[in-house]
Structure 1
Amino acid sequence: MKLSLIIAWLLSFPLSGHAQNVKNMKTNPTSETEIRNVIENYYLKGIYEGNTELLTKAFYKGALLFGDVDGVPYFKTAAQYIEGVGNRVSPERSGKEFKAEILSIDVINSIATAKLNVRMYDFNYYNFITFNNIDGKWLIINKTLTNIHP
């Protein structure tokens, strides 16, 4: 009898523990618009023009970049990445194709992810970018990338 009461008592607690319920998480259409603005007007424009000032506005200073390019591991800090963009011939000046597309943006509370396809030079990059709303601004805190061959 005691065992039955203990089991009944234990089963009365929710099995989900303290995990946050996705239905209660808030997405904000304004946030998606703000993130799209950062991607289009700072990140992608900065890459295309080789404009390090724009890129600096898009990235959190401690952001990290990881991935692979043609199977070679890739790792840079935001500062290293931005410096590299500033020291190369920009896609704008090269005259080579530059095509970028935002494939998706997902926002939950103060975090977000974006998936992009960026074709530049002879590369076909897929970027997965993580954002955080820091002091009222959406900033890139992490970027992962890979190059896909057609």
Structure 2
Amino acid sequence: MNTTKEKGFTLVEILAALTILGIVFVSFMTIFSQMNVFNTRTESKLETIHLAKKELNFWKENPMPLENNEGVLVLKKDTESSSDFIFYTYTRQDEPKYEYRVKYRVPSDLKSFTETSVTLHRLQISIYEKGKEISETFGYVEDGAL
């Protein structure tokens, strides 16, 4: 009695394994390309958040930041301004060229604790690209800063 024990895989088993591995590989490749797009968007968002915070610091440190128009390409005080808010829209000369919109709240929205305490006014800075808001930040400036 001669029995041979064959070891190995059949052609059908190998093709089935390759098909399953191909499906798994394609799904992983799709995930990696989506992660790349997400990372690019996140990087752009972080860059504009940094620019908005940098612009907020610029407004806080300069009492009348737009009187000296160096570095400002287009500056206008919007017609939307009222007794409660002043709106500024401008573009800086340096790259990247974003449109900055600043909303300055004239009456303070914070209650003073004492008569000698500083009055703060809310400042909202939004960054626009091609008419679409891509980032914004909020902060407060002292009374008389603008």
TM above 0.5, yes or no, is: no
Q: Higher relative contact order at CA 8 Å, sep ≥6: structure 1 or structure 2?
A: 1
More strand by share: 1
Give TM-score, length-normalised by structure 1.
0.30
Higher gyration radius (CA): 2
